[in-house]
Structures are given as structure tokens and as C-alpha cells.
Amino acid sequence: MKDLSVTLSGVKLDNPIIPASGTYGFGQEFLPFYDINILGSLSFKGTTAESRFGNPTPRIAECPNGMLNSVGLQNPGVDHVIAHELPELRKVFHKPIVANISGFSIDEYVNCVEKLTKEDQVEILEVNISCPNVHGGGMAFGTSPEAAASVTRAVKAVATKPVYIKLSPNVTDIVSIAKACEEAGADGLSLINTLLGMRIDLNRRKPILANVMGGYSGPGIFPVAVRMVYQVTGAVKIPVIGMGGISTARDVIEMMMAGAKAVQVGAANLVNPYACKEIIEQLPIEMEKLGIEKLSKIKRV
């Protein structure tokens, strides 16, 4: 029997598969398809201090090997999430949860972390400083080592659970930002978020997205994600959750060979609602082919 279990900052997961924030809602949407308790964990929809309607439409555009999104962190706000979404999720999902948090000021990050760290089922706080879709502080915090460190220090001061900082690929040197977060006290890192992209409607002679630019995700970004995870895991000692274009069990193993301790599956859920289930089912088969007994024993190449 293959051992799929992994551990992130003392939090044991049955397997390394975590649906990525923004692609899985609060879990309810996937209940008609399969028992979501087969997942290792679940990173719920990015949450801000106040409710957000998000960016104007259209905010999705198809691309070769992926998609562009400019949703803009649409969410009901942290208080509603705690009062309504998490209790409902608890009824159907009985495993550790990753709370994905976004913000436009350090105070907002701190406010959300302070509230969500008290939730029993939340075991990891994933602080997103990398969203390229929102006009505001999010992008700026993720593109400067100093700013990334300042957010990390502030949220660590109020967090009682492990803090993972989610990094942007839209930078010249992701390693320097990763190291700054580690030095500021981050317990782990999540990478990568979406790459900044754009599409133009030839007939209308206008950008397809109302926001003009958006985040590119899907299989097309997988080699970039593998490269960045490999670079970062070679430079820091804290664990990394790898993501970006993962859609198969072999992708999972490749990302773990790049140094990731667990993975998140994003755009694949929007193409195939059974993506995470199929990946979990295929993992033991691919492990057998590759002579891997325990995923946790995979070494960085």
C-alpha cells in the first residue's frame, strides 16, 4: 500500500492534494461530484476584511493551455465566512482547512488573520500577497522583499497557526522575496500564483477582460511554476506548497521532485470537477511505476 501522507508545519494530511483558493469556493460546489473528504486539505476562497463584489465583467478569457481570470477577490468578507461558510463546511468536510487571506493594507491582513486563527478547523493561514487582479496593495506587497517581510512580521505577531505566504511569479527575483518572508518568520510558502496576461478581441478591437489584464493559470504555466519552486526550495528551509498548472498525478510528483511538500490544484478544477479526485486515485499507480513507496520521502532533484 502506497503512503500518500505528507506533513506541513506539523499538520498531517492524508495526501498532498489541496484545491487552490478561488477554484473550489468553500467546498459546497463540489459536493454533488464526490466526497470531498478524500482531499488532503482545502484552501477556501480568498477572504478579505470586507465583502467584495469583485471586478467588472467580463472577467474570464480562454487561452491556449489555460485561462485568464480577473475575478478580483469576490468574497462575502471574513465575518460572514466565519459565521456562515465555515460552519457549513464543517458539516461536510472533516479535515484541516487552509484559510486563504488577502488584503490591501497590513491592518487588513492582521484583522483577518486575528479572526481566522481562532477557528478550530483552520490549521494553516495562507496569506496571499500576490494577486495580480486587484487595484490596490495586493500586488505591491508581493513584489518587494521589504513589503513582503513587513506583512509577514505583522501577521505572525497575531497568528497562533502556521503562516504560509503566497508568492507572486510576476517578479524579477522570487528567491529574494521568499528569503525575506522566511527571515520575517513565515512558517512556509505557497507558489506560484497566476502570471499576468492579456487577450484582445480582434473583432471588437478591445481587450477581452474589462480589467484589461488578468491572471493566467492552467497547464501552460506549469514549467514556470516548477522552475520557481525549485529555485525557492533550494534557498529556504521552510516548507513550500507548489502550484501552477498541476492537472495530473505525474505533475504532482514532478512538483514534489522540485522540492514541494504538498501541492494545490487550481484551474484544473474549473475544467474538470473531478480533477482532484482523479489525481488522488492515480497517485498510487504513478508511484508504483516510479518505485516510490512514500510521497513524503521524495527528494528534491
Q: What is the mean pLDDT of residues 205-218?
A: 97
Question: For this structure, is 131 an active site residue?
Answer: yes
Give residue 134's pLDDT. 47
What angle (nearest 5°) sits at the alpha carbon of residue 215, between those of residues 189 and 43? 45
The band of 130, judged by pLDDT with boundaries at 50, 70 and 90, is confident
Q: What is the mean pLDDT of residues 204-230?
A: 97
Strands 97-101 and 122-128: parallel
Catalytic option among 112, 131, 181, 276: 131
Q: What is the mean pLDDT of residues 31-47?
A: 97
Whether residue 208 lies inside any domain: the answer is no
Whether residue 211 lies inside any domain: the answer is no
Whether residue 224 lies inside any domain: the answer is yes
What angle (nearest 5°) sits at the alpha carbon of residue 227, between those of residues 43 and 136? 50
Give residue 104's pLDDT. 87
What lies within 8 Å, CB to CB, of 181 at 6+ separation is 148, 149, 152, 165, 167, 189
Expressed in angstroms, the distance from the first to the final Cα of the chain is: 24
Give residue 132's pLDDT. 44
Whether residue 202 lies inside any domain: the answer is no
Domain enclosing residue 121, as ranges: 6-54+74-195+218-297
Cα separation of 121 and 89, whole Å? Answer: 10
In this structure, what CATH number is given to the domain that contains residue 80?
A: 3.20.20.70
Whether residue 209 lies inside any domain: the answer is no
Whether residue 183 lies inside any domain: the answer is yes
Whether residue 189 lies inside any domain: the answer is yes
pLDDT digits (tens, 9 = 90+) for 51-74: 999 999 999 999 999 999 999 999
pTM for the predicted model, two decimal places = 0.96
Whether residue 161 lies inside any domain: the answer is yes
User: What is the total count of domains within the chain?
Assistant: 1
